[in-house]
Structure 1
Amino acid sequence: MRKRPLGKTTLQVSELALGTWGLSGDGYGPISSVEVDRVIDRALAVGIDLFDTADVYGRGEMERCLGKRLQGAGATFVVTKIGTDLDELPPKKRFDPAHLRTAFERSQERLARDVVDVVLLHNPTVAAMRSKEPLDFLKELKQAGKIRAFGVSAGSADVARAALRDEVDVIELAYNALLPGDLHEVAGDVSESGAGVLARSVLAHGLLAGHWSPDRDFYPDDHRAQRWTRDEFKTRLRQLDALRPLVTGNVVSLRAAALRFVLANHLVSSAVLGPRSVAQLDQLVREAGMPPYLRDTALTDLSARLKNLGVTT
């Protein structure tokens, strides 16, 4: 497993990370605890040392699970996210220091770590970023030696840019071949700040695997049932045509092309994967390939094809 620097931090992390939202059962429906353990153990076996989670995933169960599975596993790194008050009905975002302190202490206990590697604010709004208090609190945790790095999991380029102006160590953004715009928009800010970048939604929730037909239906407890209208879904499927010329030589599938697109971006510290089975994880690790992931000419041609199909690059 190749390593990359996590931006200006001193951490060297695997370029593939294991994301745990899908394993929590929150986004795609139930998954057995046995399979969750198997996926985490397999990730360790193939050399993945970076694990991405949040205090809301399974209402803390994914943090607790990582705390158990990673004990004694050697050098591993955990990214967790805080900023949602699950005690409220419905849950609401809270980034005041009092809530963040309680949330961090609970996460730290579940993760069973004296020092948490990376803590991110979980999808704050631009308005929430206007207050300096949340990031100041995380800076205090870092200065106290309780965390190694801090930052923001951003839902937009505007939020990411605000975080980078406040000199965060790490940002997390959705980044994939059909949603490249946010990272590309803040690329200059990332380079100037030296922040590490975690790329999530690498396969666009499975869309970029290229296995779906236009009449595909999702179960009601699968978030994808509400993510796209039927017309939007059909449009996205048509946009996959832009990636098909990449499937040649050792790029053996659309899934491989999509993953390599992310890894080809030198700003990305790690691509956060979301497999729900050992088989899915093994496919992704196998198809990630080696540098150069995609040729520069292939990326330039892809950008032109995406623009022709209505994708903002």
Structure 2
Amino acid sequence: MKIAGIRAAVPSRTVTNRHIEDMVAEHSTELGERDLREALRRVSFFLTYSGSRERRWLSDGEVPFDLLSQAVSEAIAEAQLQRSEIDLIVYTGVDRGFLEPAMAYLIGAALGMPQAHCFDIVDACMSWTRAAFVVSSLLSTSQYRNALIVNCEFNMRTDGRVNPRCFRLGNVDEVEWNLAAYTLGEAASATVLVRDDTRLWEFHFRSEAQYSDLCSVPLDAYMGYCVPQPRLGRNGPNYFHSFASEMFRVGKPHAIDIFNRLSVPHEEIKAIFPHAASMQAWWEMGTKLGVQDKIQSIYPDLGNLVSASVPVALARAREAGSVREGDQLAGWVGSAGMSFASFAFAL
């Protein structure tokens, strides 16, 4: 399987860490002055320590589908394909406009690929990686030749899964499960993958479902679909929560182990593309493996792009020329669930 085209589109509004602190202060009207100062101190420390500086959000007049359409058009053009040649569309990620039908059908209909087979893959920040694994298996069967993986992650809009609930703190303790929300950026990506039997991808996955309550976006009737846990639904139905510090603590050993499963020698890897949840955490893990200098982090400038983290970083590196055709690359992802993955491929 070969990446024939990969493009990303980010919105125009730049949001700094100071903007985040101002939003917390504006919406947390239930906090007294002393508690608000402590909450803002914790937010500032976490953002600075993690390596966050800014992120991009939708500006007035911008809509997710326009940015996705731009990314799709550019990726298909880069792949030198006609839209009629796309056999399969897979929509991935957390943010979406429809639960039914699959988002992929709406994209195929609107963007001139109505006959492409369509389905969605939902696996939190792991979604793009999981989709790449599924697509690689399908392309190897010869049933498909050209596939398109797309995602929109625009969770920070006013009616999104984060804003404004995660900024409206009722007490200082709520900072703990809302910190991850303050790191989120927005983006759309499109990846064209074509069958190429000379380019084999290596994937490794690991699941640790006992940590599934650490990060979630529950729906309205979620209590009837699970065994209730104290940490589930901390911000109520339809809103994001994440115990980020604990996820990093319990996840680091699993992430290191999954990367070590790659058969490609570390010294042969040109660049590593991680899930952009924290620059500091990935640097610490990379240092333990001696690969920290290979990690391509978009986190300081674009924030945590959820399932779009890896494809956006790949697209930017390819466009900048820091990676070129033939380079040996790797992906490294940790996600809610919890799940962990590493993969390697030649560009």
TM-score bin (small chain): 0.3 to 0.5
Select the structure with the greater relative contact order (CA < 8 A; seq sep ≥ 6): 2
What is the TM-score with the length of structure 2 in the denominator?
0.30
Give the greater-gyration-radius structure (CA): 2
Normalized per residue, which structure has more strand?
Answer: 2
